[in-house]
Each structure stands twice: as C-alpha cells, then as structure tokens.
A and B are shown apart, each in its own frame.
Chain A
C-alpha cells in the first residue's frame, strides 16, 4: 500500500512527531508508514485522513501486489 503522508505533512507543515501526537501513535509508526515498512489499521488510516482533511483514497492507494 502506497501513501502520500510525507507530502501531506509538508503541505500541512507538520513534523512526524506532531502528526504522531495528533493520531496518538509513536513517531516510529509514522516513520515506518512513510517508508512503506508498515501497513496501518483501518482506524489509523481514518485518523490520518481526518488530520489532513482528505479522503482516505487521496492519501492511501493499493499497489499491484496488494
């Protein structure tokens, strides 16, 4: 699963730490998400989309091998 969290963070001028605090996870989790090392739960996906005021599909998308 691909995501545009890094781009969205830049647009909203948020650090990994700030986003992590907003969605109640560790900074490591945001880092792992951005690096594609971790597939988030549905709840976390919805929380991240809410922080950026976007639809889930605008931030997260499936890859061919998903």
Chain B
C-alpha cells in the first residue's frame, strides 16, 4: 500500500492513480485526493453503489472491502490502494445468487435503494458465519436502513438461505 498512487497534474488539480480489484477485475482509477470511494465507483460506472446520507448512517453505499462491509461514502479512495472491492454485481456473476433469489421471493425489495447494501452485508455475514441466528442477522443488518419494508422480509429472506444451506 506504500506510495499508493502516482500523482500527476491535470488542470491544476493533483490526480492520483489508484489500483484496486473490483468484482474480480483489476482496475486503475484516476482520482482526486479528496474523492470518496462511493463517488469513484459511481464515476467509473458502478452505479449499483447507492449514495444516501453521505454520513455513514444509512448503509446504502455498502461495498465489501477485502470481504468486509464498509461505508464507501466515508472511505477516501486514496486509502483503497490494493483493495479487493465487491459491489452487488459480484453476487450474480454466475447467475442469480441465492440471497438475491430469496429477497425477490420474500418481497424484501420495494424501492430497491437499500437492496445492494443489504445484500452485501448479508453476503459478508454468511461468509463469516455459516448458520447465523435471527438475532445475529438483525444485528448485522442494523446499519442498513430501509424505509419501505420494515425489515421483516429481509430477515426472513436471509433465514431462508441459512435454513437451505
């Protein structure tokens, strides 16, 4: 991570190059030092990363950073040199992911804005814990706010995946 980014000058603004792996593909992004990861990802076409509050409260911008959920609206992109990033599109690389299928079947998606963050947090939980309890699912999801569903459908969907494992 040392020496992250080559600094070049473009129109009076320092531009850094940052390398990371996104959904399995190696990428080099040109960024300004002040840029947040959510903005960089969206600027490069990863619009599945949603920006809600920009203060780390809502969880819409959740991505997996080396396998763990983070708030990409708070993270400076310059601190992501060498990181392995997963957006929700990483889930359906080989067809629909069981979590996505369960979300659809349980009616856990309404407006859909929180769904990428919810799915990624759920994926990380199941990666770390094969059989989480309902309480552990609620605990993991508590920072991903949903203003449509009331949360029951998401918890039910994840429980369904857990019970089918």
Are A and B co-members of a single complex? no
